[in-house]
Amino acid sequence: MTGHRPRMPAGGVAGALLFGAIVLFCCAAPVLSPYDPHRPDLARALLPVSGEHWLGTDQLGRDLLTRTAEAGRASLLLAFAVTAVTTSVGTVAGAVAGLVGGRPDRLLRLAATVALALPGLTLALALAGVLPPGPVTVLIALVPLGWVSCGLVVRATVLRTAASDHVLASRAMGASRLHLLRRTIVPHAIGPALTVATGDLAKTLVAATSLSFLGIGPPPPHVDWGGMVNEATALLVVTPRLAVVPAVALALASLGITLVTDALRAAHPAG
């Protein structure tokens, strides 16, 4: 009987297409648009939806479609950066804890206890409150506990792989821990780690947007989706689309990532 690759569920395909469309929109729209997303034009303030401005303009006369795309690019880049750091740290920490045990394993479990007891956004606000607003502050605020979930999954995968007959036989033949870590154990942990990273991307995107909404994100004139919603709160009753548009963009991006995460979890169940 010939084997075949399992097909990605329809939800995963839909999520990938949706998220890909959001990324394409955020990257292409500011480049193709004739409007400057940062330059005010008070003569065009709060224009309604039209053929010239597909989503209208904001309170300073900036094209809302272009500004939403520019803000989305900043939000996505920051979320990707934070997720890349947390995944890298979590993968290394989980691999070392699972293979070496002892003190590294105890430290990882302690970090997991702290992460469960202390809400991540609370810690992020505490750290960000003493640092100047900006992407680096958001990165510093979200990384300290953001790596723990990936570390725990990688640790469980490493423990399971290390107990397999192949690894036990290799160790009996004199293979070093470093060799087993690089050639056998870490490759088995990549799939679960990427699954966790995809889920963390959605959570990080929402968390970074929330911090920006609270005034900890990029300083003006730069903006992300959270900053756009923050700017629109004063006009929420008069012109709700100023807040609805970036909020919908965030929701669609998060939905796309979540659908992909569900498909990856079906292919690589977390240990």
CATH number of the domain residue 167 falls in: 1.10.3720.10
pLDDT in tens, 104-135: 889 888 888 887 777 767 777 777 778 888 88
Rounded CA gap, 52 and 154, in Å?
51
Q: Does residue 261 belong to any structural domain of this protein? A: yes
Q: Does residue 46 belong to any structural domain of this protein? A: no
Domain that includes residue 93, residue range: 13-27+63-267
Q: Does residue 18 belong to any structural domain of this protein? A: yes
Indicate the DSSP class of residue 182.
Answer: I
Q: Does residue 172 belong to any structural domain of this protein? A: yes
Contacts of 215 (CB under 8 A, 6+ apart): 133, 230
Q: Does residue 5 belong to any structural domain of this protein? A: no
Hey, what are 33's tokens?
A: 């648009």
Q: Does residue 8 belong to any structural domain of this protein? A: no
**Domain count of the chain?**
1
| For residue 6, pLDDT beyond 70 | no
Model-level pTM? 0.88
Q: Does residue 162 belong to any structural domain of this protein? A: yes
Q: Does residue 58 belong to any structural domain of this protein? A: no
pLDDT in tens, 45-91: 999 999 999 999 999 999 999 999 999 999 999 999 999 999 999 98
| For residue 247, pLDDT beyond 90 | yes
Q: Give, in order, the Cα–Cα distances in Å from 149 to each of 15, 17, 42, 49, 62.
A: 22, 26, 47, 43, 40
